[in-house]
Chain A
Amino acid sequence: MSMNRREFLQVMAVAAAGGMSLHSEFALAEKGAAKLYDLPKFGNVSLLHITDCHAQLLPIYFREPNVNLGFGDQFGKVPHLVGANLLKHFGFKPNSIEAHAYTYLNFEKAAETYGKVGGFAHLATLVKRMKANRPGALLLDGGDTWQGSGTALWSNAQDMVDACKALGVNVMTLHWESTYGEARVKEIEEKDFAGQIDIVAQNVKTADFGDAVFKPFVMKKMNGVPVAIIGQAFPYTPIANPRWQTPNWSFGIQEENMQKTVDEARAAGAQVVVVLSHNGMDVDLKMASRVKGIDAILGGHTHDGMPAPVAVKNAGGQTLVTNAGSNGKYLGVLDFDVRNGKIADFRYKLLPVFANLLPADKDMQTLIDKARAPYLSKLNEKLAVTEGTLYRRGNFNGTFDQLILDSLMKVKDAEIAFSPGFRWGTSLLPGQPILMEHVLDQTAITYPWTTVTNMSGEMIKTVLEDVCDNLFNPDPYYQQGGDMVRVGGLQWTCDPTGKMGGRIQNMMLKGKPIDPAKTYKVAGWAPVSEEAKNSGAPIWDVVAEYLRDIKTVKPINLNLPTLKGAANNPGMA
């Protein structure tokens, strides 16, 4: 049986009329909502933080991962905790609204009960509410804001630029923004954002002379307290994304320059120094242990919705490290009590944005509706109905990624398929129709071309080893923050604790070992090399073609590697 969401709700409404209590949990949640969002004013410096919304202007469903492994120094540490382990660490009760906000547990039922999350109109209401009793509070945007939806792609990021201005963002840093190209980023900075939003990045320099491309930091006075916001853009933008999109910009972690920038900000009188970072949480934690004088790193990139900060000790004292999740699901609120030029105390809360518990801000909703209007017929094309949950997040595979792999193998007639381990992409519940918009939520990038490559068995191993090292290199500075490339067709074993070259084992295709010398037909998408521009149809067209053909997506079997050394890892459920 396949039922869409509307049909499902109608059936349930009939059941409710028959005396079944449908929304009892939700009613409780609604009562608790006031408590959820009742955050008393604290101190005199307040920073509101959003990150990695990936252009999701409307409320969506988003399933948190059940695989987020950490090894070595990162074993069992934040953010490498999932499900019950995460609840236990942060002290939340199973089946609570918080359990749904921060974990995948009981996802389908809880999503039906509590409804969608995020949405800029609902976020706007929450931002206004926080600002109401926090005079002078700044809204910081950690980046990955302009990419992740059809409307952002088609409007060349304009819908998100306008929405961020309306939301009242003060300072932002970058990652996927750069995939619109250097000229577009600078145009937005110099025209749209002028006088309103500062783009900061201490680690983006010109490739020739090493000149700063953006302001390294901005100083803002809040209730008389000078606060420095230093920007840290995603260090590996020209590696993880196409270098031809930012040919004149050089990135990198630039730890020494970070220290120099912190020292400059302090010398200029900053009493609070905060880094708005797109490093990813493991990189932020390492940086916090090595750079002195940062009070807090407000982080993103790895999409870890962490309810509490990690306090990292270093030679200069202590640095708080937070990570505020993704897809508009959360608003981070960091309050400092600054007395006599020093931070006396702080409070932090990562507020989940439940669309049903926060009324939509009318002005923002109008702006969103207007931005979407020209594209509605394209976005709303119904391609198929899903019988199971579709999601992406997780170290090795997600059902939506499997669907993309299946599409690639079928449409491109390939025996093996690769799909990038992106961490963005929304979720769909059983019975929901798959609209073109949902496919674009997983695929809308500026280099969407599909590829078909004849690859030797040896090359396949090289590719997998290379990506696996980006995820599991024991030194966070060598990690890039995505998940493992998704693999279709090929069975394999992964030992994340192995060394580079030894993590990928037992590669098999249809029961036969992969021959290093033999050639295999491999389909993929999102090529980073300039030569691969326009190599094949955009991935969304390939997936749409597949979905129109099959009409119903049966519950999906994930092609997962056999994992070694991951039993009893608190980052796996």
Chain B
Amino acid sequence: MNNQRRNVLKTGSGAALLSVLAAAGIITPGMALADWNKAAFDAKSMADTLKAIGAGTPVDSKDVQVTGPDIAENGAVVPVGVSSTLPNVTMVAILIEKNPNALAASFTLPEGTEASVQTRVKMGQTSNVYALVKSDGKFFMATKEIKVTLGGCGG
């Protein structure tokens, strides 16, 4: 375990760290809000979300990977990642079919960015998790079921 990094992060000021990242050009102010699609995040169902994004009927693709646990350790913070080897990816979105609002995250990728994102999502129940990727202006999708259980009774 990298205790040095852990301690630096624990003792260091969060604000200072953010300013370092900002200074390095890794994040820029306003970046997060630049492409906020309110209609998509407000949509309830998968179909309405895809419509709001303008994704039509995405094609299932083997070149899109969803990573995450088979069974969530904590439904409140489920680590989910999406990566793709498709060319010119400009957008990656994560949709949770059974969530009250299906769209959990949407990433806008500047040109030349490797299509690989990681985040944490909240899940109230077992659901299919969809990764939506926009490549060369077309939409592609992949899915993985993540189970959310009550726990206990094992072993």
Contacts and interface: CB of A to CB of B under 8 A. Distances in A.
Contacts of B155: 144, 175-176, 234, 240-241, 301, 422-424, 480-482
Nearest to B67: A256
Contacts of A482: 153-155
B4 to A, nearest CB: 11
B150 A236 contact: no
Contact of A206 (B1, B126, B153, B154): B1
Nearest to B146: A478
B1 A470 contact: no
B2 A528 contact: no
Given A252-B73, A253-B70, A422-B155, A239 B1 contact: no
Nearest to A240: B154
B154 A481 contact: yes
A212 interface: yes
A153 to B, nearest CB: 16
B44 interface: no
Contacts of B85: none
A239 B73 contact: yes
A500 interface: yes
A209 B150 contact: no
Nearest to B10: A208
A402 interface: no
Interface residues on A, range: 35 or more
Interface in A524-567: 526-529
A209 B153 contact: no
A271 interface: no
Interface string A226-251: 00000000111011110100000011
B74 interface: yes
A529 to B, nearest CB: 8
Contact of A239 (B5, B67, B126, B149): B149
A467 interface: yes
Given A209-B5, A478-B70, A470 B153 contact: yes
A500 B127 CA distance: 12
Interface of A: 144, 175-176, 206, 208-209, 211-213, 234-236, 238-241, 243, 250-253, 256, 301, 420-424, 462-463, 466-467, 469-470, 473, 477-478, 480-482, 485, 500, 526-529
The 7 closest A-B pairs by CB, nearest first: A240-B154, A420-B153, A482-B154, A528-B152, A480-B154, A211-B1, A477-B70
Interface of B: 1-2, 5-6, 67, 69-74, 79, 126, 145, 147, 149-155
